[in-house]
Amino acid sequence: MSATGSELRRGPFAEGERVQLTDSKGRLHTITLAPGKQFHTHRGYLQHDDLIGSPDGSTVTNTAGFQYLALRPLLADYVMSMPRGAAVVYPKDAGQIVTMADIFPGAVVVEAGVGSGALSMSLLRAVGESGRLHSFERREDFADIAMANARAYFGTDHPAWTVTVGDLVESLPGHVEPGSVDRVVLDMLAPWECLDVVGQALTPGGVLICYVATATQLSKVAEAMRDAGEWTEPSAWESLVRGWHLEGLAVRPQHRMHGHTGFLITTRRLAPGVTPPLRKRRPGKGYDDVASGADADPGVPEALPGASAEEWTPEAIGERVPSDKRVRKVRRSVTG
C-alpha cells in the first residue's frame, strides 16, 4: 500500500473508512463505516452496509425516507473535523504555506510546533514519500493527537515523518546536520527565539516561513530577522478568503467569513558570511526605541508592549487554551 494513502482516496467505500454525509439542508455528519452498524438521527437511521462497497459520491436513503449524499472527505474537510489539541492551520493558510515556502517533492523540511497535525499533513503530502519532514512539538499529548490524526488519514505512519517531543531550540541541532534543511515552517508563539538554530540548519537560499496570529508577533519576528543579519528582507501578508452564495439570481459574497486566521512571513537564508544589501529606506522606530523612551516621539504611545518573554503567552495573544481535561479526553479518543 502507498504510504501517502492514495489507495484510500480512490475506489468504492470500504469498511473502516470515514465518510462525510450531507443531508438536504447541507448539514454534515462524519461516520466511520463498520459492517452491521447504523447511523441514527432523530429522523430515522441508515445502515453502514448500504454504503460499504458503493462508489464515492453515492446517495443513500434512511428508514424515514431522507436522502444523504456520501462523499470521502478531502484533506481540507478532514483537518476541519478531526480531533484537536491545539488550534489548527486552516486549509487556506496551509495552501499558501506549501506554495509560498516552495515545499517540493523530496524536500527536507523542519516544522514546529506540530499542534494537532493539520499543517503536518499538508507538508507530508507536498514532500511525498521521498522527502523528509522533521516535526518538533513541546507537548507530548499534542504530539500523540497529531500522530493519531495523521495515521487515521494516511492509513499508516507516513514514512517521511519523524516527530520529536521537545523544544525546537534544544532539539533541532541534535536531529539535523547544519546546512542540510531545505525549508523551515514555524507555527508557534515565539518564532524569533528559534532563528539562530533554524539559521544553522537551513541550506543557503533555504526558505523560512512563520505563521503568527497577531501583528505584534509579526513585527517582533520581522525585526529579529533583520537584526540577525543573515536573512533576506522578510515579506509578510495575510490571505482573506470570502465564499460566495450561489442561488438563482442571488449570486453574492456569503454573509459570514473567517475575518482573521493569521499572518505569514517569509525570508531566505543568505550564504555564510554574506551580509544583506543595505536597505534603502530608513527603518521606522521599533519596540525597543519606544520602550526605552530614547528619542521619544510624542505621537507614539508609550504603552506599546515591551519585548519581555513572559508577555508572549497564548492568553496574551488571545488564543483559546484547551483545558488539560479536554486534551486528555481527545488524546484518549484518538489513541484508544
Ligand X SMILES: C[S@@+](CC[C@H](N)C(=O)[O-])C[C@H]1O[C@@H](n2cnc3c(N)ncnc32)[C@H](O)[C@@H]1O
| Residues that bind ligand X in the complex, under the rule CB under 6 A | 86-89, 112-113, 115-119, 136-139, 142, 167-169, 187-189
Q: What's the min distance (Å) between Cβ of 13 and ligand X?
A: 27
Closest CA to 199 of 223, 176, 167: 176
Residue 13 vs 211, nearer CB to ligand X: 211
DSSP letters, 37-56, are: -EEE-SS-EEEGGGTTTSPT
Cβ contacts of 39 within 8 Å, gap of 6 or more: 21, 29, 31, 45, 46, 48, 62
Residue 298 vs 318, nearer CB to ligand X: 318
Cell, residue 237? 501578508
Burial 204-234 (b: 16+ CB within 10 A, else e): eebbbbbbbbbebbbbbbbbbbbebebbbeb
- What is the chain's percent helix, strand, coil content, to nearest 5? 30, 25, 45
- The Cβ of residue 251 has, within 10 Å, a number of other Cβ atoms equal to 9
Output the CA–CA distances (angstroms, integers) from residue 117 to 97, 145, 252, 262, 291, in the order listed. Answer: 14, 8, 34, 17, 37
User: Which single residue is written with the C-alpha cell 544583506?
Assistant: 276
Peptide bond before residue 306 is cis, with ω within 30 degrees of 0: no
Q: What's the min distance (Å) between Cβ of 242 and ligand X?
A: 22
Q: Which residues pair with 69 in a beta bridge?
A: 22, 59
Alpha-carbon distance of 94 to 336, in angstroms, equals 28
Residue 62 vs 96, nearer CB to ligand X: 96
Output the CA–CA distances (angstroms, integers) from residue 267 to 91, 129, 307, 311, in the order listed. Answer: 22, 26, 22, 25
Residue 101 vs 290, nearer CB to ligand X: 101
Residue 51 vs 172, nearer CB to ligand X: 172
Residue 188 vs 209, nearer CB to ligand X: 188
Q: What's the min distance (Å) between Cβ of 149 and ligand X?
A: 8
Residue 118 vs 265, nearer CB to ligand X: 118
Tell me the residue nearest to ligand X as measured from the CB.
Answer: 113
Alpha-carbon distance of 237 to 22, in angstroms, equals 35
Q: What's the min distance (Å) between Cβ of 108 and ligand X?
A: 18
Output the CA–CA distances (angstroms, integers) from residue 290 to 229, 301, 325, 333, in the order listed. Answer: 22, 8, 41, 48
Q: What's the min distance (Å) between Cβ of 135 and ligand X?
A: 9
Q: What's the min distance (Å) between Cβ of 3 and ligand X?
A: 20
Residue 222 vs 327, nearer CB to ligand X: 327
Q: What's the min distance (Å) between Cβ of 168 and ligand X?
A: 4
Q: What's the min distance (Å) between Cβ of 235 and ligand X?
A: 21
